[in-house]
Chains A and B, each alone.
Chain A
Amino acid sequence: MAHESSYVPGNAVEKWIDDRLPIIRWSKEHLMDYPTPKNLNYWWTFGAILAFMLGVQIVTGIVLAMHYTPHVSLAFDSVEHIRRDVNGGRVIQAVHTTGASMFFAAVYIHMFRGLYFGSYKAPREILWILGVIIFVLMVTTAFMGYVLPWGQMSFWAATVITNIVGAIPVIGNPILELLRGGFAVDNATLNRFFSLHYLLPFVIAAVVALHIWALHVPGNSNPTGVEVKSSRDTVPFHPYYTMKDLFAIVVFCIPFAWFVFFAPDILGHPDNYIMANSQVTPTHIVPEWYFLPFYAILRAIDFNIFFIDSKLGGVIFFAGAILVLFFVPWLDTSKVRSGSFRPIFKWFYWLFVANFVLLAYLGSAPAEGIFVLLSKIATAYYFIYFLIVLPLLGRFETPRELPTSISESVLKHSTPVGGADPALAKTTH
């Protein structure tokens, strides 16, 4: 956001640095003075929570890598060695594995917040697209990380998921062999996954930097969806949002610690405590919970579509479910940004949320009986929401009247109004 720098070097040393590398000036502008809408609700704290989680994962991951051995005959035991013999290893390892789950929980909330409040609309399309890229990188990193303990689920998840690539015509098989480093998941696969699992978080960190850069150009969106009009609408990022975000991070750490210390294995699968064995297939191969909605979509396509066989069809829908997110800024034709002012949109939105939860459940259920039909319906709605509802709704829906500014909306809501939208009411404590 364009604003005058208020930084004055405090002493000769700061002045000397400022003339050469104005990093303190930059920090003051972007980490402290950055004008932020004053009506952000707690859903907006998940950005900071995610930055915190990325830090947690990188730090614990670096320590784990000091003790881990990426070899098919040693990997399983080396993870147990961390849990049993490394000082504090049980906690570090649990923070990292549970941390992956908490990271995804936070990223889903962050994404759903963006979808509700229309955070992807102009001029924030690139901001949104960078976010989707981060999500794709996270999925890849988490998948590779899950393979490293070399348990039964690690091995079979690696086999099933890499197989997906093999369904692509012509180039599928060469890519599959490149991914696995051979014809089957084996030591070469484990080694390259370890290498990439260590690399990708730093790529994520770099894209996060771009994501924040793209945020700081137009500034934050806000629950009303009305752009900032004057400095009355904003507060400096520090201390207002640094302290609010820190409070949210601490609260977020409570369930995180609950899982780490009291149920570190509850989010995983017991089969991963059995060492990988290519001769024994587990009865149910289930991915981690955060992949379940997409896994359900992959499995829902069990029929051929013209010349496309069901396997390739599943892959197309699976990839499409993520790729469609890149186009959301242009699929949503509504001029109104925030879902709070779109009476019909809300219905479709909450149905989409419920549908996503249902997909997660279906991803964990065996592919039999009524689950098969439900998976197809839920998959259909996932795409209908993006490809039909969002483009058409903008044309037919009559939005509610928008406040002229953030300040006006804040003043209106600070006196209790009956029947106010809770999404907005939350912003007034």
Chain B
Amino acid sequence: MIKTKAIIGALLVSILFAAAPAAAQEGGHSTPEIKKEPWSFAGPFGTYDRNQLQRGFQVFREVCASCHGARLMAFRNLSEPGGPEFTEGQVKALAAEYDVADPSVAGGTRPAVPADRWPSPFANEQEARDANGGALPPDFSVIAKARGTTQPFPWWILNYFTAYSEGGPDYIHAVLTGYHEPPAGVTVPEGMHYNEYFPGHNIAMAPPLSDGAITYEEGETGSVPQTTDQYARDVSAFLMWMAEPHLVARKEAGLQVIAFLLLFAGLMYLVKRKLWAKVEH
């Protein structure tokens, strides 16, 4: 009896849910759905690809960092386990190439040490806007978690079961590869660029990547294509690491915790069953 009711209720609810967004989307602006990319760090067993993070850092450093800051990342993070894992020597040498503000030394700046945070490219918001035609390049420290994608009903429900948390990198990859000529009849304001995936389609940032713009070093695992798509993938992965530097350790701990809980639950069930066996209930 309750089953039939539940089924009727579920049907009713799902019809409402399915009909509502369909009706609402009529006449709405059309941004194509962003595809889920296969990331190495997706899912409960996900882990960062060290080589990809190193390449992504190269893209970030050579391209993004000229306008975008990363104020929450310290140089030392780059050598920590679970990240790009540069050697401490490499990080020390890298840090020394940058100057950071330090009011306690003569001249007000000194070369950075691994404990310093990544220096911002502009002194303040106004300077950043002046250099970028009035637009403010956002800080990249947690950008990979400050952006996301949406899936139409009912597919977003699946996200809770697949632990989908890669909306940020999916979005970044889509925007970086989403530049093209505006469709017929669409005019792009001066100083703006058409982007298929950027909300509103007009983005102030010029296409930052192009095929062959960054030269990857030949690695042990063979060469990696030097294309816009590959650069976008690598830098998205790097930005995800920057936003979530302890992801690998967190997921490893999670597997142990869930395994423990399953075992504990099984044992508690047996305790409960044995205890209640003598009681009519």
Contacts and interface: CB of A to CB of B under 8 A. Distances in A.
B227 interface: no
Interface residues of A, number: 63
Interface stretch (B8-16, B32-40, B59-67, B185-193): B8-16
Interface in B205-257: 243, 245-246, 250-251, 253-255, 257
Interface string A251-267: 10110011111111110
A253 B261 contact: yes
A250 interface: yes
A238 to B, nearest CB: 10
Nearest to B9: A354
Given A250-B264, A254-B258, A347-B5, A273 B243 contact: yes
A303 interface: no
B268 A246 contact: yes
Contacts of B159: 263, 266
Contact of A260 (B147, B254, B280): B254
Interface stretch (B90-98, B103-111, B127-135, B269-277): B269-277
Contact of A243 (B6, B9, B275): B275
Given A263-B163, A270-B147, A347-B5, A247 B72 contact: no
Contact of A273 (B77, B145, B273): B145
Given A84-B246, A91-B250, A414-B280, A366 B3 contact: no
A273 B23 CA distance: 31
Contact of B24 (A240, A251, A283, A366): A366
Interface stretch (B47-55, B164-172, B176-184): B164-172
A254 B262 contact: yes
B123 interface: no
B163 A262 contact: yes
A18 interface: no
A421 B2 contact: yes
A374 interface: yes
A410 B276 CA distance: 14
Contact of B245 (A84, A94, A273): A84
Interface residues of B, number: 61
A350 B164 CA distance: 31
Contact of B254 (A240, A262, A368): A262
Interface of A: 38-39, 77, 80, 83-84, 90-91, 94, 235, 239-240, 243-244, 246-247, 250-251, 253-254, 257-266, 270-271, 273-274, 283, 346-347, 350-351, 353-354, 357-358, 361-362, 365-366, 368-371, 374, 407, 410-411, 414, 419, 421-423, 427-429
A250 B279 contact: no
Contacts of B6: 350
Contact of A370 (B19, B254, B281): B19
Nearest to B167: A270
A250 B257 CA distance: 11
Contacts of A83: 246
B5 A235 contact: no
B168 A421 contact: no
B146 A38 contact: no
A84 B163 contact: no
Nearest to B21: A365
B1 A419 contact: yes
B99 to A, nearest CB: 22
Please indicate which of the listed interface residues A77, A90, A250, A274 has the most CB atoms of chain B within 10 Å of its own CB: A250
A273 B148 CA distance: 11
B260 to A, nearest CB: 9
Contact of B12 (A240, A261, A354): A354
B160 A250 contact: no
Contacts of B264: 250
Given A350-B9, A419-B1, A266 B160 contact: yes
Contacts of A90: 246, 250
B24 A261 contact: no
A92 B246 CA distance: 13
17 contacts: A38-B280, A84-B77, A243-B272, A244-B272, A247-B268, A247-B269, A253-B261, A257-B254, A261-B258, A262-B44, A273-B143, A354-B13, A362-B20, A371-B24, A374-B20, A414-B280, A421-B2
